């Protein structure tokens, strides 16, 4: 493996100018005065989230793609029940497809204890199977309208790091301040679509500044948008990079526009690095990921495979100064068909936290060498070619 060196820091005034350009170009919600902390693993994320739930005083709003009735799910359920007993309003939105194998009795038990639950997009069989492609892939939690969590983690033991048979690498963030109110607004939109119950109403007086220096943009995506805001946010970030672009993602089916943006950045002399999984929970996607390696390597992009467990983290770091963390993968489903949310943070301190984690991830990854990659078997090459027409559906 080549020597790992962090790229040079970009002055704060350049970061501020970029964020001003971003604000003019992308349809997103912007706020300042937020405090943002990186949660580097599932165990950190859930420990922090559960502690916040235990101190909630007015409301808890949860929106997750997958909710499992395992140890982590039951710990969450017990904490939510205690919150209801304290008089806290709890709303729990889960995706019907993502949580398909979770027993209905799990959610019924929550409702019997005063927790308002709603399934997003249950099947309207009268419309055939067209409903199947519409999924709420977000993973967010909002506590008292002032504290929020986001990232790529679902509710389950593999994400929380407590399943000894399945080791997953993921990350999230905690934010305090007005950006939490923006995440609550997104939650409210999907809650209204899924439930007949009126959502909890936040007021601005409940949301003081978080006491931090982070400017935050909340970018949402969904099938109701004519253009992908999520993809455009990534593209603008890469186009504005001055020194480095660092990406970690489990599913890489980006499409030609995204690839061209990466190649243009590399031609400008930008350090472009991407970490992809050596193992995947979806075997087909592992083959699809690797079908891009030759083009990426020939285009001057450094490609790594994360060893030791399944990679599920979704992060992009630009110039060590601003970062994108959220639920969206770099694939056509996340860009165009899922409901997703990305949190974009402009902060030198938060950028430092993400960069430190990225360097740690690089040390646990293997650099892909073009000459070695091109020696893969004819069967592997044939399977990669065969799967290319399925890229839009993965």
Whole-number pLDDT of residue 300? 97
Say whether 302 is catalytic: no
Say whether 298 is catalytic: no
Q: Of 136, 232, 319, 331, which one is the catalytic site residue?
A: 319
In the chain, domain spans: 12-393
- Is 0.85 topped by the overall pTM? yes
Residue range 160-173, pLDDT digits in tens = 988 766 778 999 99
Residue range 326-362, pLDDT digits in tens = 999 999 889 988 999 999 999 989 999 999 999 999 9
Q: Of 95, 136, 137, 157, which one is the catalytic site residue?
A: 137
Which of 105, 99, 391 minimizes the C-alpha distance to 255? 391
Q: Of 136, 170, 312, 331, which one is the catalytic site residue?
A: 312
Say whether 74 is catalytic: no
- Name the residue with higher pLDDT: 293 or 166: 293
pLDDT over 90 percentage in the chain: 63
The pLDDT-based confidence of 5 (bands split at 50, 70, 90) is very low
Q: Of 139, 157, 232, 331, which one is the catalytic site residue?
A: 139
Q: Of 136, 232, 314, 336, which one is the catalytic site residue?
A: 314
Say whether 137 is catalytic: yes
The pLDDT-based confidence of 392 (bands split at 50, 70, 90) is low
Say whether 89 is catalytic: no
Residue 99, φ and ψ in degrees, nearest 5: -105, 25
| 244: Cα separation from own chain's centroid | 20
Query: Residue 277: pLDDT above 50?
Result: yes
DSSP per residue over 321-383, as a string? Answer: TEEEEES--EEHIIIIIEEEEEEEEE-HHHHHHHHHHHHHHHHTEEEPPHHHHTTS-HHHHHH
Residue range 95-131, pLDDT digits in tens = 999 999 999 999 999 999 999 999 998 877 555 555 6
Distance CA 306, CA 286 (A): 12
Residue range 29-52, pLDDT digits in tens = 888 899 999 999 999 999 999 999
Residue range 183-195, pLDDT digits in tens = 999 999 999 988 8
CATH 3.40.50.300 fits 12-393, yes or no: no
Say whether 319 is catalytic: yes
């Amino acid at each position: 493996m080549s020597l790992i060196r962090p790229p040079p820091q970009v002055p704060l005034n350049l970061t501020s100018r970029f964020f001003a350009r971003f604000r003019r170009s992308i349809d997103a919600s912007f706020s300042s005065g937020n405090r943002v902390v990186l949660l580097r693993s599932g165990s950190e994320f859930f420990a922090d989230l559960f502690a916040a739930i235990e101190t909630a005083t007015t409301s808890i709003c949860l929106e997750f793609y997958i909710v499992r009735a395992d140890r982590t799910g039951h710990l969450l359920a017990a904490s939510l029940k205690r919150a209801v007993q304290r008089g806290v309003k709890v709303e729990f939105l889960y995706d019907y497809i993502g949580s398909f194998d979770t027993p209905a009795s799990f959610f019924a038990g929550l409702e019997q204890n005063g927790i308002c639950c709603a399934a997003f997009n249950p099947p309207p069989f009268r419309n055939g199977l067209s409903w199947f492609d519409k999924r709420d892939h977000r993973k967010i939690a909002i506590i008292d309208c002032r504290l929020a969590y986001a990232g790529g983690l679902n509710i389950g033991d593999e994400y929380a790091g407590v399943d000894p048979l399945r080791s997953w690498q993921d990350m999230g963030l905690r934010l305090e301040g007005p950006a939490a109110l923006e995440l609550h607004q997104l939650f409210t939109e999907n809650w209204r679509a899924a439930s007949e119950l009126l959502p909890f109403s936040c007021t601005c007086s409940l949301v003081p500044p978080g006491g931090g220096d982070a400017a935050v943009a909340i970018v949402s995506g969904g099938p109701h948008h004519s253009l992908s805001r999520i993809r455009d946010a990534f593209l603008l970030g890469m186009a504005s990079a001055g020194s480095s672009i660092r990406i970690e993602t489990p599913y890489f089916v980006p499409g030609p526009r995204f690839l061209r943006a990466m190649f243009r950045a590399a031609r400008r002399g930008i350090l472009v690095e991407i970490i992809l999984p050596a193992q995947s929970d979806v075997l087909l996607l592992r083959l699809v990921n690797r079908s891009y390696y030759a083009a990426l390597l020939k285009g001057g992009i450094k490609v790594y495979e994360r060893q030791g467990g399944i990679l599920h983290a979704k992060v992009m770091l630009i110039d060590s100064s601003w970062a994108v963390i959220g639920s969206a993968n770099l694939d056509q489903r996340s860009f165009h068909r899922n409901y997703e949310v990305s949190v974009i943070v402009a902060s030198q301190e938060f950028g430092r936290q993400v960069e430190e984690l990225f360097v740690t991830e690089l040390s646990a990854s293997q650099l892909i060498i073009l000459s070695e990659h091109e020696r893969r078997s004819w069967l592997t090459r044939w399977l990669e070619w065969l799967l290319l027409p399925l890229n839009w559906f993965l």
